[in-house]
Amino acid sequence: MLVSMTGFGRAQGHYDEKKIAVEIKSLNSKQFDLNIKLPSAYREKEMAVRQLLAAKLDRGKIDLSIQIETGETDKRIGLNSALARAYWKEIKTFSDDLGVEANGEILRSVLTMPDVWSTDKSELDSQEWVIIEGLIAEASENLQAFRNTEGENLGADIRARVESIDALREGCVQHLPKRLLAVRERLAKHIKDLTLGDEVEQNRLEQEIVYYLEKLDITEENTRLAQHCAFFLETMDSPDMIGKKLGFITQEMGREINTMGSKANYVPIQKLVVDMKDELEKVKEQLLNIC
C-alpha cells in the first residue's frame, strides 16, 4: 500500500487549567528529518519524542510543535539588579571617557543585555508529560491516517499511468509487422542505390537484411518492459514502505523505453515511446511523495 509523505495531524487536550495542542506536519524528504518545538520545561524529553515518532513514521521532513496555554503564568520573572548595575557602571565609565552623556537610551540597552532578566521556570510535571505523550501519539496517528488517504489517491493515479505505459507498449507490438516490412524495403532500397543498379546476390541481400533486423529488433525490450510494469503493479500492493523500490523499478522501465525508442527507427512506434516517457516522468514525480 502506498503512503504519502505529505500530511497533517493535530490533537488537543487539557491538564489542570492548561490547554495543550500538538501539531505534526510532514513533507517530502529522502530520509526521516524531524524538527521539534517543545516548551522549555520539557526539553529533556526531546529524545523520547524522537524515538516515539521514528517508530510510528518513516521518511519525511516532519515538524512537531507543542503549544501550552494557561490562564496564569507559571514563570516568575525578576531583574538581576547587581548585573544591571555592573553593566551600567562599565558603560558609564566608557561614556565619560568618550565625553558622551549616559542617558535613558543607554539604560534601555542595559536592560536588554544578557542575563539581566532572570526567569524562574516551572519544573517538569510528570503527570502533564503523560498527557502530552498521549497527544503526540494521537497526533501522529492522525497524521498517518492523512498520509494513508493521500497515498491511496496517489496510488490510483500512479497505477493508471503504469497501466497506460503497458497499453502503449502493446501498441508498439501491433506496429511490429508493418515496421518489419518498412525496414526491409528501406534496407533493400539503400543497398540497391549503393550498388548503382548492379545485380546483387539475393542470398547475400537476405543475410544483410536479417543482420540489421536483428540489431533493430525490440522484442526483448518489449518483453522486459511488460515484466517491469507487472512487477511495479505487484509491488504497489505490498504492505511495506516501498517508495524507494518503486523508484528503482521505474529506472529499469526507463532503460527499456529508451532502448525501444533508439532502436525503433519507425515513426509510429517512436510516437508511442514519447508518450510512454511522458507517463513515466509523471510516475517518477508522484513517487517523490511516497514513503
For residue range 164-201, list pLDDT tens digits in order.
999 999 999 998 888 878 877 777 776 666 665 556 56
**80 vs 109: CA distance, rounded Å:** 15
Q: Are 50 and 36 in contact (CB under 8 A)?
A: yes
Greatest alpha-carbon pair distance for the chain in Å reads 113
Q: Long-range pairs for 281-287 at CB < 8 Å and ≥24 separation?
A: 282/161, 283/158, 283/161, 283/162, 283/165, 283/250, 284/247, 284/250, 286/154, 286/157, 286/158, 286/161, 287/158, 287/243, 287/246, 287/247, 287/250
Note the Cα 26 to chain centre separation in Å.
10
**Beta-carbon-side half-sphere exposure of residue 226 (alpha carbons within 13 Å):** 12
CA-to-CA dists, residue 106 to 80, 88, 112, 172, 216, angstroms = 17, 8, 10, 81, 84
The set of residues, in sequence order, having a beta carbon less than 8 Å from that of 104 and lying 6+ positions away, is none
Q: Are 5 and 60 in contact (CB under 8 A)?
A: yes
Residue with cell 549616559: 102
Q: What is the DSSP letter of 290?
A: B
Percent of the chain with pLDDT over 90: 45
Q: In terms of pTM, does the model score above 0.85?
A: no
pLDDT at 32 over 60: yes
pLDDT at 35 over 90: yes
- Residues 61-117 have pLDDT tens digits of 999 999 988 755 555 567 778 888 888 888 888 887 877 776 777 778 778 877 777
